[in-house]
Structure 1
Amino acid sequence: MHRRQLSFGVGIVIRFRLAFVLVLGIVGIGFILQCSLVSKSKKSKDPQIQIHFLSRDFEETKSIPSSLFESKDLLLLLAELSRKEDPSMRFISTTRTEEIMEVNGKSNSWSAGWVVYVNEERVDGIQMKRGVRVSPSDKIEIRYEAVERVFGRPTP
């Protein structure tokens, strides 16, 4: 009988420890999830430069972290996205101009091509080469649309 009471006592201690470890595990997982959610919401509140890619086949938005008062060169932002292949882009660069030739496999043709707009104003390759500064407050769209070309170059 004494042995039975002893094993009963050991069983309670083991169950208590198991329950304690289980509660600690649940609290720990809850803490980790809460920290994860806080860090995600913190990131989303930081100012970001948004670039929208639009075509008939796809629509994609890319966000680049930036401070509210900082402006960045649009061509450098596009080159960085191209380097990361997010989205996959191909440029043509001359001493005078820059042109986006392809985005995610959608290439320019004689009648359509990728056109850059900043705050609803078309930005040509010469302006991009000279430098176009953008900030989180700017609306940036890169659209695949009908274009007229003279000697292979799009005309404004």
Structure 2
Amino acid sequence: MKNPIAFLSVFLLVCFAVTDCSGFGSRISNRKKNSKQDSITNQIKIRVLCSEFEEEFYYPILLGEKKDLLLILAELSQKENPSIRFISTNKTEEIMEINGARNSWKEGWVIYINGETISSSELKLGVRVGKEDKIEIKLIPVERVFGRPMSLNGSPRYKNRRNVLII
């Protein structure tokens, strides 16, 4: 043996090639992938409806997990699936545009969870959703109100107001 380092490197290369061809390395990586996929079996479905398109988007979550809807929408927007633009103030968070369809003076994006309207200030405070929740975002005709609708004691009242977009 004139060059033991060359012999050792060739030997290691052959050993690596044999283990890779036998599938030993891929079995280990597949086990890691399968265990990760087993824990992400649920998906939150978000349905977006407007006159131009109707699409469903899915967000993977862990079994039984609930996440903040605003964070889910922001992560989907970051991936541009769908492309979402928001208007943010100190107290509210509102969807301005989804896939090029924008708010206008006559239409606005309204979020429904299990059939109930979610206001822009509730969205900002945090609304936790899970797999069992029915989430729809619709571009619908709205009445624009400058300022907040107020009850007699001065706190915002949104539960009884339907299709009102506050700007």
Confirm or deny a common fold (TM above 0.5).
yes
Contact 1:68 1:135 in 2 (8 A): no
Q: Which has the higher contact order (CA 8 A, sep 6+)?
A: 1
Aligned match for 1:84, one of 53, 74, 79: 79
Q: Which residue of 2 aligns with 1:127?
A: 122
Normalising by structure 1, we get a TM-score of 0.68
Between the aligned partners of 1:101 and 1:71, the Cα distance in structure 2 is: 25
Instruction: For residues 10-34 of structure 1, give each alpha carbon's deviation from its aligned partner in whole angstroms, at most 9, with x where no partner exists.
Output: xxxxxxxxxxxxxxxxxxxxxxxxx
Alignment of 1:48-127 (within 5 A): 48-127=43-122
Give, in angstroms, the shift of residue 85 of structure 1. Answer: 1.1
Q: CA deviation at 1:152?
A: 8.0
Q: Which runs of 5+ in 2 are unaligned?
A: 1-29, 149-164
Deviations 1:85-133 (A, max 9, x none): 1111110000000100001111001111110000010001000011000
DSSP 3-state at the match of 1:115: strand
Which one has a larger percent helix, Structure 1 or Structure 2? Answer: 1
Return the TM-score normalized by structure 2.
0.64
Residue identity matched to 1:108 = N
CA distance in 2, matches of 1:152, 1:82: 28
Kept after mapping to 2: 8 A contact 1:118/1:140 = yes
Q: Is the CA contact (8 Å cut-off) linking 1:47 and 1:136 kept in structure 2?
A: yes
Count of matched residue pairs: 115
Aligned residues: CA RMSD? 2.1
Q: Does 1:138 align with 2:151?
A: no
Gaps of 5+ in 1: 1-34
Query: Given the alignment, which residue of 117, 141, 148 partners 2:143?
Result: 148
Question: Where has structure 1 moved over 3 Å in runs of 4 or more?
Answer: none
Tell me if the contact between 1:74 and 1:131 (Cα under 8 Å) persists in the aligned partners.
yes
C-alpha displacement of 1:68: 3.0
Alpha-carbon spacing, 1:82–1:152, altered in 2? closer, same or farther (3 Å): farther
Aligned-partner SS, 2:71: helix
